[in-house]
Amino acid sequence: MLHVDLDQFIAAVEVLRRPELAGKPVIVGGRGDPTERAVVSTASYEARAYGVGSGMPLRIAARKVPDAVILPVDHEAYLDASEKVMAVLRSQPGATVQVLGWDEAFVGIEGGVPEDIARQLQLAVLAETRLHCSIGIGDTLVRAKVATGFGKPAGIFRLTEGNWLHVMGDRPTIDLWGVGKAVSRRLATLGIKTVAELAAANPADLVPEFGPKMGPWYAQLGRGEGSRVVDDTPWVARGHSRETTFQRDLTEAADIDGALRELAAHVMDDVAAEERPVVGLTLKVRYAPFTTTTYGRKIPATSVPAEVLAHALELAAKIEPGRPVRLLGLRAEMTMPEDSRQGHTPTRSGW
Determine contact, residues 168/43, Cβ cutoff 8 Å: no
Determine contact, residues 96/230, Cβ cutoff 8 Å: yes
DSSP element (H, E) containing 83: helix 75-90
Active site (annotated) includes residue 104: yes
Determine contact, residues 140/226, Cβ cutoff 8 Å: yes
Cα torsion angle, 44, 47, 52, 58, sign: negative
Buried b (16+ CB within 10 A) or exposed e, 12-51: bbbbeeeeebeeebbbbbbebebeebbbbbbbbebbbeee
CA dist 200 and 320 (Å) reads 45
Q: Exactly one of 46, 104, 225, 333 is catalytic; which is it?
A: 104
CA dist 220 and 214 (Å) reads 10
Beta strand pairing status for 26-28 and 42-43?
Answer: antiparallel
Per-residue three-class SS string for 275-321: CCCEEEEEEEEEECCCEEEEEEEEEEEECCHHHHHHHHHHHHCCCCC
Strands (E), 11-166: 26-28, 42-43, 69-71, 96-101, 104-108, 133-138, 156-159
Type of residue at 115: E
DSSP element (H, E) containing 37: none
Which residues form the catalytic set? Answer: 104
